[in-house]
Amino acid sequence: MTSHHPEHGVASAASSTTFAHSPQNHGAENESTHTDLEKNAPHADADAEKGAPTVSSEDSECPDGGLKAWLVVLGVSCGVCATFGFVNAWGIFQAYYETYTLRTMSPSDIAWIGSVQYALVFMPGLAFGRLFDMGYLRLPVFLASALLIVCTFLTAECKEFWQFLLCQGFGIGLASGTVFTAAAGVVPHWFDKKLGLAFACMAGGSSIGGTIFPIILKNLIEHQSFQWTLRITGFIILAFLVVLNLCIERRLPPKPKPGPFVNLSLFTNATYTIYTLSLFVGFLGLYTCLTYLSISGVLAGVDRDLSFYLLSIANATSLLGRIGGGVLADRYGPFNVLIPGTLITAAMTYAWPFAVTKGPLVTVSVLYGISSGVFVAIMASPLSRMGKLTDVGMRVGMSLTLMSFGALAGPPISGAILDHTGSFENVGYYAGTALTLSVVLMTVARYRLLNGKFLGNA
């Protein structure tokens, strides 16, 4: 099943933004904010046209709480629940399409629909991040919300592969990516010292969605037609998105000079390049287990109901990894937590094909959920330490965009291996090896970051 932990993505973007707004830099940020506000005064009318509030120097301090700030968190949590949570339920669709609607197609071909969804969750980061810096928020979020609802209802009417790919893959994926980028960007406007808590609440929305949507879809499919299952789900998503659009709001004015979209000179930093490569390689294998976990259980003869609930179990336990990983990374360093967490994910991916009874499958689901939650929660944190603070947004955006191609290619490669060998064991070997190679590259990047030392907080 495909839980492509967008929750992961949520927390990762959060971690990188947390660094940029950390309490250590608070004084410097306040000083620069005052200066920027004075420079931006002539642009107040333009900002207002874009829906961005103007902020006086007296109001530039982060509220770090209060009704309005927590309403923003409520809104983005609902938005992430309706987007990442829904995307995380792809495994249910993969199994259903293989069995019914697209049963004449190979699993690797069907997997492209989910892969496009997952990739587009991260790909819009550079483009929409720039729009956000320019002051646009409510309009893109509203348009993305409308696109998500329309594509959900249209998916109910799809009959052919290309229709599913267009509506569910590209449409829902692009809408989800836009909402995610907006959510990750707006929360730091309202929180500083409590930013980690705010992001944890936002990531909790993703975990809740990733838990409830597979259960909702499975039970609706059993009692309703596929068409009405998607229609009812669409109305549930609509309720979450209404809260998002009512509550989301930026506090700070746009940047006067957002800068270029990309800066390829960043790749002259070998540590940054190696780590970005490790993320790409890791995502080639990360979602394989979740994509095929449920269907492998069914084919192994495990109770069908339990097999479909494995996805919800993995998504629910990933919350522990996201929160715990973030806390440990703050104390011991992101690499020191990320490397062992990814190694455990690799081990569970190797073990998954050999879990053919109830106990082992549940155990793999729990341990994989926790460890993969660590991976996606803090994967962007090391990027904050690999250059200037002023470039952290671009560094993270470029890395996540390149990483998304790994998320795009990984499940179809796994499906092709399954098609040609007929063995989940070979699929597990491929995905586990990709994650292991990612660990090796992370270790090299950590070694370089510590200037040739093996011990240290990194």
**DSSP letters of 32-45?**
HHHHHHHHHGGGHH
Calculate mean pLDDT across residues 320-335: 82
> Picking from 40-54, 59-73, 416-430, which range would have the lowest pLDDT averaged per residue?
40-54
Asked whether 321 and 341 are in contact (CB, 8 A), the reply is yes
Of the chain, the percentage scoring pLDDT greater than 70 comes to 83
Q: How confident is the model at residue 427 (pLDDT cuts 50, 70, 90)?
A: very high
How far lies 139's CA from each of 22, 128, 142, 248, 359, in Å?
Answer: 29, 12, 5, 11, 48
Give 181's Cβ-side CA count (13 Å radius).
31
- Across the range 268-281, mean pLDDT stands at 93
Of 100 and 127, more confident: 100
Residue 75 has pLDDT above 90, yes or no: yes
Q: What is the pLDDT of residue 122?
A: 82
Identify which of 107, 366, 88, 364 has the alpha carbon closest to the alpha carbon of residue 216. 88
What is the average per-residue pLDDT within 60-87?
A: 89
pLDDT of residue 392: 61
> What value does the mean pLDDT take over residues 443-455?
85
More confident residue, 345 or 321: 345
Listed residue (371, 404, 368) closest to 292, CA to CA: 368
Structural contact between residues 211 and 315, judged by C-beta atoms closer than 8 angstroms: yes
pLDDT at 208 > cutoff 90: no
| pLDDT band per the 50, 70, 90 thresholds, residue 298 | confident
pLDDT of res. 363: 94
Task: Give the C-alpha separation, 102 to 110, whole Å.
Answer: 8
pLDDT digits (tens, 9 = 90+) for 33-54: 444 434 443 343 334 334 444 4
Q: Is the pLDDT of residue 170 over 80?
A: yes
CA 158 and chain centroid, separation: 26
Name the pTM for this structure. Answer: 0.74
* Top-confidence range, 145-159, 207-221, 244-258: 145-159
Q: Average model confidence (pLDDT) for the chain?
A: 81
Question: What size, in residues, is the chain?
Answer: 458
Q: Using pLDDT thresholds of 50, 70 and 90, give the confidence band for residue 455.
A: confident
| Average pLDDT of the segment spanning 65-78 | 92
Higher pLDDT, 71 or 308: 71
Residue 16 has pLDDT above 50, yes or no: no
Compute the Cα dihedral for 372, 378, 380, 382 and give only its sign: negative
Q: Which residue has the higher pLDDT, 329 or 193?
A: 329
